[in-house]
A and B are shown apart, each in its own frame.
Chain A
Amino acid sequence: MVKAHFQSQALPDDRNQYVNGDGDPNLGLHRVLAGAIERLDAEVLFDKFEKKTIGSLDPNSASTVIQGNDTGVQVDENAQASLYGSTMVENNSGVGVNVQGARLRLCCDSGQRQVLNNLIGIVVSYGSVDMIGPALIQGNSLAGIQLFDGSATLR
């Protein structure tokens, strides 16, 4: 499996950022385009101890879409992933966001995080997820959120 690091960036006119699985191996790993569909056959990976953010708290910032992979976002051992603003993780054939011994944070009032139509929306094993503000977990065919020796706070 090809894995890629993803880091959102703010550009003046970006409205939609797409990261999806269409099999072009020559594309770069940092994706910000205005109104375009970006294709990347890779999941978004947070390695051990990494801290990264997808999306932005700025209400005028782009929507980030991660779609069409096996796992959409993989967060491993002691990493901290933050999904901000209008970030969507959808149509991944496996888990939308997979947290293994790590921390996931979905925040805040700006925008709505959406995890849609994956096999399982969010899996947390030996880690935690904090969900603050609007979020929609919908249409995941096995479960919306699954915890294995993990914790979740939705508030």
Chain B
Amino acid sequence: MGPRRFGNQTIQQNGNADNRDSGGILGRGNSHLDLFSASVVNNRGVGLAMRDNSSARLGGDTVTGNTAGGVNLLILSSTELLPGNNITGNGITDLKCRLNSFALGDRSGIGTVSCPVEF
């Protein structure tokens, strides 16, 4: 068996432009996501949305080209940004927080931000 490489997951071209609740990865209701070295690209909708007391840890990820935003946090949700992310070039906003949601961690590699952030 060769060396383990891991990573290399691609979530792309999911969702549809007519449904604002569609996209790449959607988490709600106390959900948690650990996303490391993955690509969430060119989804028709949001790349990644966490809502309703959900959380995510992102590290080494590429989140680009998603039509309705890169990372959206809604309703008491949060994300920890670990180093190595590229969250740029998404529609609307690359990182957006609404309704008592926030982001913390490494600000580098993040494009447009509409969020109370604690970097």
Q: A residues engaging B (CB < 8 A)?
A: 108-109, 121, 131-155
Shortest C-beta distance, B110 to chain A (Å), equals 19
Residues A138 and B13 in contact in the complex (CB < 8 Å), given A152-B27, A153-B34: yes
> Does B32 contact A151, Cβ atoms closer than 8 Å?
yes
Please measure, in the bound complex, the distance between the C-alpha atom of A142 and the C-alpha atom of B11, giving whole angstroms: 13
Partner of A152, one of B12, B34, B43: B34
- Kindly list 19 other residue pairs between chains A and B, CB separation below 8 angstroms, not including A147-B28, A149-B29, A149-B31: A108-B6, A132-B6, A133-B5, A134-B9, A141-B15, A141-B16, A142-B19, A144-B15, A144-B24, A147-B26, A147-B31, A150-B31, A152-B25, A152-B27, A152-B33, A152-B34, A154-B33, A154-B35, A155-B36
Closest to B56 in A: A152
Give every chain A residue within 8 A of B23 (Cβ-Cβ): 143-144
The count of chain B contact residues (Cβ–Cβ below 8 Å) is: 35
Please measure, in the bound complex, the distance between the C-alpha atom of A154 and the C-alpha atom of B56, giving whole angstroms: 11
Q: B residues engaging A (CB < 8 A)?
A: 2, 4-16, 19, 22-38, 43, 45, 54
Number of A-B contacts (CB under 8 A): 108
Shortest C-beta distance, A107 to chain B (Å), equals 9
> Does B16 contact A142, Cβ atoms closer than 8 Å?
yes
> Does B26 contact A131, Cβ atoms closer than 8 Å?
no
Interface of B is mostly: loop
Give every chain A residue within 8 A of B5 (Cβ-Cβ): 109, 133
Give every chain B residue within 8 A of A155 (Cβ-Cβ): 6-7, 34, 36-37
Please measure, in the bound complex, the distance between the C-alpha atom of A151 and the C-alpha atom of B35, giving whole angstroms: 11
> Does B6 contact A137, Cβ atoms closer than 8 Å?
no
Give every chain B residue within 8 A of A147 (Cβ-Cβ): 25-28, 31-33, 54
Partner of A144, one of B8, B11, B32: B11
> Does A143 contact B9, Cβ atoms closer than 8 Å?
no
